Structure 1
């Protein structure tokens, strides 16, 4: 089976970062799920003092 992949990066907000808009994230996840994308991994990137800078989500779906 052949796969295609999609990577989404969401910026964490707030004065020192670390806050993710959960409503926006849920909406994005549900929209991608309806398009056949499956979440395969999610992680955050950090800046100073361990504050979250970005949340990265990686999706896959069968090609074709």
Structure 2
């Protein structure tokens, strides 16, 4: 049976209306984790008031 380990990492959304993600930083971090063997499984956004994105949570996995 395969065994996995999981990692959750947060990315802050900036801006006063709607929450803006720094896509360049996001891509750099995901590519860095991918080079370490992590595979992206899911992305979830957390919301503040009125649906504004507060942070993005990325869940990754890799074989143990």
TM range (shorter): over 0.9
Count of aligned residue pairs for this structure pair: 63
RMSD, matched Cα: 0.9
Unaligned 5+ segments in structure 2 are none
Shift of 1:17: 5.0
TM-score, reference length from structure 2: 0.93
* Structure with the higher fraction of residues in strand conformation: 2
Of stretches 54-63 and 10-19 in structure 1, the one that deviates more from structure 2 is 10-19
Runs of at least 4 residues off by over 2 Å: none
* SS of corresponding position for 1:12: strand
Deviations 1:16-37 (A, max 9, x none): 4510000000000100110000
3-state DSSP class of the match of 2:14? coil
Q: Which runs of 5+ in 1 are unaligned?
A: none
